[in-house]
Amino acid sequence: MNTTTDHTSHTTTGLVLRTLLIAVIVAAIIVSNILNIIILGQMHELQTIVKTLFINLSIADLLNGSIVCLPSLLASATDKWLLGDVYCQISSITHGTTCAVSIWSLAIVGIDRYAAVNHPIRYQKFVKFHHCYIITVVFWLIGISTFSAPLFIEDNYYVYQENVVICGMYWKSPIFSIVTGLYTLILSGVILFWTTYKVTKTLRNLDRITGSENGYVKSSRNAKAVRTLAISGISYFIAWGPYTITVYLIAFKAISPILEPIEFTVAWLANSYSFVNVLIYAGNFYGFRKQLKIYFSRCFLPKCSKQNAEQTSTNEEISGQ
């Protein structure tokens, strides 16, 4: 996106509405991903490696919300960046890294399920749980290295973008845009949807021939994981697609800088992906929904929970008598 270093005047109403919108998005990102990490850690519906990668994705989204998006709330309220150039570089590197790690985590889930379903003997023989930790560490190192690289060429490469109220999401160099776009979005997308297609096809064939209860359970668990993966992947590309296309068009000077409202909408649509996974998990996993209801009742409906507990206690006493 374009950098906007010249100050643009905003009305008070505009600032308030913009700040409220950012506050809602930031709160949704932080709260939803804390819930994701806690609940996913307690779930038994997912295979361990898949669960670990989904948790890694939630950690990335949580860092995006707290390190990148939260300071934008202050910037929007004051209509200027107050945290200095150093934090701007940290915020931008974090933003690029976390967004890349999110889609990479989904791609590796796809590869893991493809190997487990299509090549089960090799999978059980060669794939170990510690490989998952190694891969996630490598992902974080690659992301940090990639998005730190421009700083070795130009100090303070990343700048505050007033139109989107954020320090990050800045690809000044067309080459940087091509490289990061290719292996972050395009390559990951190809891997994600190819593996999802292959696993889905295999599971349908297995459903026709399997007759054991154990086989059905494994097939069902894999089907849920793949369905969740597919929905998460589609959501990622819906959120990040418009922004990525816009970046490429501007980088190659195919279009002139776009209007501020459109630029803001496209950028924050991309950031909004960081809170949608809680909805996806809730829609696909009964255990996740059940635990989410428990946390919701404890945090937001304490009176109702207390009344239900008292009513339950009273009923037990009556039954005992």
Helix axes 277-284, 286-300, angle to 10 degrees: 120
Report the C-alpha gap between 83 and 4 in whole angstroms: 17
- List Cβ neighbours of 17 (8 Å cut-off, separation of 6 or more): none
**HSE of 304 in the Cβ direction (CA atoms, 13 Å)?**
9
- State the pLDDT at residue 132: 86
Classify the phi-psi angles of 36: left when phi > 0, otherwise alpha if psi is within -120 to 50, otherwise beta. alpha
Paired residues of 161 in beta bridges: 166
Report the C-alpha gap between 271 and 266 in whole angstroms: 9
- Hey, what amino acid is at 60? A
In a domain, 319, yes or no: no
- State the pLDDT at residue 4: 46
- State the pLDDT at residue 306: 52
In a domain, 316, yes or no: no
Query: How many structural domains compose the chain?
Result: 1
In a domain, 137, yes or no: yes
In a domain, 3, yes or no: no
Q: Which residues of 218-257 are buried (b: 16+ CB within 10 A; e: fewer)?
A: bbeebbbbbebbbbbbebbbebbebbbebbbebbeeeeee
- List Cβ neighbours of 77 (8 Å cut-off, separation of 6 or more): 15, 19
- First CA to last CA across the chain, in angstroms? 71
Its sign, for the CA torsion 252, 253, 257, 258, is negative
Helix (H, G, I), strand (E, B) or coil at 167: strand
- Backbone φ and ψ for 274, nearest 5 degrees, come out as -65, -10
* Token representation of residue 142: 């690659």
Report the C-alpha gap between 295 and 87 in whole angstroms: 34
Q: Which helix (H) or strand (E) holds 160?
A: strand 160-161
- State the pLDDT at residue 206: 67
Which pTM was predicted?
A: 0.83
In a domain, 145, yes or no: yes
- State the pLDDT at residue 9: 61
**What would the pLDDT profile of 245-268 be if each residue is shown by its tens digit?**
887 787 777 777 778 888 899 999
Residue 292 lies in domain? 12-296
In a domain, 118, yes or no: yes
- List Cβ neighbours of 231 (8 Å cut-off, separation of 6 or more): 280, 283, 284
Report the C-alpha gap between 231 and 234 in whole angstroms: 5
DSSP 95-128: HHHHHHHHHHHHHHHHHHHHHHHHSHHHHHHH--
Say if residues 105 and 56 touch (Cβ distance below 8 Å). Answer: yes
Helix axes 213-251, 260-272, angle to 10 degrees: 160
- Backbone φ and ψ for 171, nearest 5 degrees, come out as -120, 85
In a domain, 33, yes or no: yes
In a domain, 309, yes or no: no
Which CATH number is 25's domain given?
Answer: 1.20.1070.10
Mean pLDDT per block of 10 residues along the chain (321 residues) reads 50 87 95 92 82 92 94 91 92 92 90 86 83 90 91 86 83 74 80 87 69 52 78 88 82 74 89 89 83 77 52 44 42
